[in-house]
Amino acid sequence: MKREGEIRISSGCAISGIFCRDGRRISGEAIRKSIAVMHNRSNGLGGGFAAYGIYPQYRDYFALHIFYDSQEAREETERFLDKRFDIINLSKIPTRQIPAISDAPLIWRYFVSPLPHMLQDSQLDEDEYTSRSMIRINDSITGAYVVSCGKDMGVFKAVGYPEDVADFYRIEEYEGYSWTAHGRYPTNTPGWWAGSHPFSLLDLTVVHNGEISSYDANRRAVEMYGYSCNLLTDTEVITYILDYLTRKQGLTLKESSEVIAAPFWTTIAIKDEEERKRLSYLRKMFSSFLITGPFSILVGFSGGMMALNDRLKLRSLVAAEKGSTVYFSSEEAAIRVIEESPDRIRAPRGGEAVIVSLDKESRC
């Protein structure tokens, strides 16, 4: 497989998201319908979905979705997991054989919790313990790729058009309060299963339309903090940057958005003094995490979702609301197909993070 930068293929992509602020769990049918409207923005080389609230019966366990190229990779990974985690359930992820999706890897799901004595010996919290273990698998077990590893959530992705990927994974059988979707038209790298979107670490997922021109600078910066970019796609690095800024540095999502899509110095210069100081601090302190080049992203996490454009708004993004449901999409049509008359519809500005979260009473 050629690495990022070694091959160029020309461009597009579609993203879509649905978030129920009241915690109502809806089937994957709606997100499939939405992303399918934007069929022409993808080219069949990748599609995927992230869903939150889909495993309430295993809410307290990390849900691992893993791709394997071979049985050997599976056996090696399971030996690795056995040593570190209590596996309370494991199974193949149910799929539907359809002609549009072929060359599937082995797709497994595990519900696990860190072995208490191992966790204690590591002196890490369970999130860090788990994320380090997952990075180890991606980095050192040939043919094993952790697709998602958060609690009460999961990523379903493949090579194909997103609507076909939905059918393949029987997405309509899952119910979640938050959904994101991606239709891929890879630009710099070949389309492959683990390289489809969403990318994720713990409960954080990212779908991305665009192309990061600062990829290598960002990759070098984030790899200094123990992350490892193995999935040959620029979006992977956004996921690790956001995990680093929010989970390790303790920044809020809004602050993180002001790091990765920092305003221009000329724009900062006309703000009032306090805001100028704050924005300058974020730019200077985390300068290696500024992401340049066009992007519109949807970031999913437990209990919320964030939509963000690059500061020049070089990719399209539309937001809408109807009652307690929030919609995001690359095109307005993809929202109208599932909600004909939203209460409000608007285009967020470049660098303006739109963050939604569950209403207080529906948090668990």
Pick 90 or 312: Cβ nearer other proteins: 312
- Say how far apart CA 341 and CA 241 lie, in whole Å: 36
Alpha-carbon Rg for the chain in angstroms: 19
Catalytic choice (13, 20, 149, 229): 13
Determine the interface stretch with other proteins among 111-119, 121-129, 150-158, 342-350 (rule: CB under 8 A): 342-350
- 13 catalytic per annotation: yes
C-beta of 157 vs 182, nearer to other proteins: 182
The number of residues that bind other proteins (CB under 8 A) is 21
> Please, what is the minimum distance in Å from the beta carbon of residue 336 to other proteins?
5
Q: Which of residues 270-289 bind other proteins (CB under 8 A)?
A: 270
Residue 343 as a binder of other proteins (CB under 8 A): the answer is no
- Contact, 232 vs 3, CB < 8 A? yes
Q: Is position 316 an interface residue for other proteins (rule: CB under 8 A)?
A: yes
Q: Is 268 in the site for other proteins (CB under 8 A)?
A: no
Q: Beta strands 325-329 and 14-20: pairing type?
A: antiparallel
- Distance of alpha carbon 263 from alpha carbon 255, whole angstroms: 12
Burial status of residue 239 (CB atoms within 10 A of its CB: 0-12, 13-18, 19 or more): buried
Residue 18 or 242 having the CB closest to other proteins = 18
With CB under 8 A as the contact rule, the residue among 93, 100, 115, 312 that binds other proteins is 312
Which one, of 151, 165, 31, lies nearest residue 95 by Cα?
165
**Residue 243 or 331: which CB sits closer to other proteins?**
331
**Min dist. Cβ of residue 296 to other proteins (A):** 11
The answer to whether residue 332 forms part of the interface with other proteins (CB under 8 A) is yes
Residues 186/160, Cβ–Cβ less than 8 Å: no
Our finding on whether 40 is near other proteins (CB under 8 A) is yes
Q: Which of 13, 26, 37, 166 binds other proteins (CB under 8 A)?
A: 37
Q: In what order do the strands lie in the sheet with 85-92?
A: 85-92, 106-114, 62-68, 144-148
User: Which residues contribute to the site for other proteins (CB under 8 A)?
Assistant: 37-38, 40, 264, 266-267, 270, 312-313, 316, 318, 331-334, 336-337, 345, 347, 349-350
- Would you name the residues annotated as active-site residues? 13
